[in-house]
Amino acid sequence: MTHTRNDIARLAGVSPATVSRVYNRPEVVSKDKVRRVLAAAGKVGYSPNKSASALRRKGTGVILFLERKPGSLSGEARFYAWFYADILRAVKSIVDETTYQISLYSYASLRDIARIRERNLCDAVICHEMGDAAAARAVRRLGLPYVCCFHTDHLDGFNRCFIDEIHGGGLAAEQFRMTGHRRPAHITGRVEHIRTCRQRWDGFRQGFDGVPVKLIDGELGIQGGYQSGRRLVPDIKAGQIDCVFVVNDLTCVGVVQAFAEAAIRVPRDVSLIAYDNLPFISTLPFKLATIDVSVGKAYREATRLLLKALREPAPIVQAVRPVFVPGESVQARRQP
Please classify residue 209 by burial: count the beta carbons closer than 10 Å to its beta carbon, then call 0-12 exposed, 13-18 middle and 19+ buried. Answer: exposed
Handedness of CA 179, 184, 187, 190 (dihedral sign): positive
Could you please report the per-residue DSSP string of 6-69? Answer: HHHHHHHTS-HHHHHHHHH-GGGS-HHHHHHHHHHHHHHT----HHHHHHHHTS--EEEEEEEP
Half-sphere exposure of 283 (CA within 13 A, CB side): 9
Number of residues in the chain: 336
Give yes or no for residue 54 having a pLDDT over 50. no
Lowest mean pLDDT among 56-60, 106-110, 256-260, 287-291: 56-60
- Is the link from the previous residue into 212 a cis peptide, with omega within 30 of 0? no
Strand order in the sheet with 243-246: 214-218, 184-189, 243-246, 271-276, 289-292, 323-325
Domain boundaries, the chain: 56-164+295-322, 165-293
Domain 165-293 sits in CATH 3.40.50.720: no
Lowest mean pLDDT among 40-54, 117-131, 294-308: 40-54
The runs of H, that is alpha helices, within 60-179 are: 81-95, 110-118, 133-140, 165-178
Contacts of 304 (CB under 8 A, 6+ apart): 27, 94
H or E element that contains 124: strand 124-128
H or E element that contains 298: helix 295-311
Q: Give the mean pLDDT of 327-336.
A: 86
Asked if 56-164+295-322 and 165-293 have one fold, the answer is: yes
Residue 111, SS3? Answer: helix
Beta bridge partners of 75: none
Select from 142, 98, 82, 150 the least CA-distant residue to 320: 150
Q: Give the mean pLDDT of 155-164.
A: 95
Which pLDDT score is estimated for 153?
92
CA distance 299 to 68: 17
Residue 146, SS3? Answer: strand
Strand order in the sheet with 317-320: 101-107, 62-68, 124-128, 146-150, 160-163, 317-320
| Residue 36 CA: distances (Å) to CA of 5, 6, 14, 26 | 13, 14, 9, 12
Lowest mean pLDDT among 36-45, 51-60, 133-142, 255-264: 51-60
| Residue 162 CA: distances (Å) to CA of 70, 114, 151, 194, 243 | 21, 24, 6, 16, 28
Q: Using the 8-state DSSP alphabet, how is residue 119 labeled? A: T
Q: Do the strands 323-325 and 289-292 form a parallel or antiparallel pair, or are they unpaired?
A: antiparallel
Q: pLDDT tens digit string along 86-145?
A: 999 999 999 998 889 999 999 999 999 999 999 999 999 999 988 789 999 999 999 999
Select from 310, 309, 330, 328 the least CA-distant residue to 318: 309
Q: If one looks up domain 56-164+295-322 in CATH, what number appears?
A: 3.40.50.2300
